[in-house]
Amino acid sequence: MDTVSKKQRSQIMRLVRSKDTKLEIRFRTALKKLGYKYRKNVSSYFGKPDIVLPRLKTVIFIDSCFWHGCSRHCRMPHSNRAYWKAKIGRNKQRDKKTSEWYKRNGWIVLRLWEHSLHKNLKDSIKKIASVIRNRQKGRKE
């Protein structure tokens, strides 16, 4: 049951997409500086993580506040509220399942809110770096 017009939806998608992309590029640049080998938007991986560090068995998801239903920033569009509520609810469920799948299979899953990257990219990167360092230590032992 799709009650949102195609035009309306693509407008919203575009809005959200372009913001995400710029942020992701900044994020990846920072990650690269740290010297991590990663792959981006890997569709062959379950749930299409934004970033995969295959050797460290770590996947990173950058969750946009809108599409993933951030409790602080997700503002439902005024029209077709029920549609958006259901859609975002499904996204959240899928996120949960995806994270569980990776954990079950021995992966480290990092989920970052878009807003935390906006607010403080450096801190987010630091957090990731420390998780990765712990992972590296664990692998050597």
CB of 18 to Zn ion, least distance (A): 17
> Looking at beta carbons only, is 73 or 96 nearer to Zn ion?
73
> Looking at beta carbons only, is 59 or 65 nearer to Zn ion?
65
CB of 128 to Zn ion, least distance (A): 18
How far apart CA 82 and CA 4 sit, in angstroms, is 10
List of residues contacting Zn ion (CB under 5 A): 65, 70, 72-73, 113, 115
> Looking at beta carbons only, is 24 or 52 nearer to Zn ion?
24
How far apart CA 44 and CA 103 sit, in angstroms, is 17
CB of 59 to Zn ion, least distance (A): 20
Distance of CA 76 to the CA centre of its chain: 19
Q: Confirm if 114 and 65 have CB atoms less than 8 A apart.
A: yes
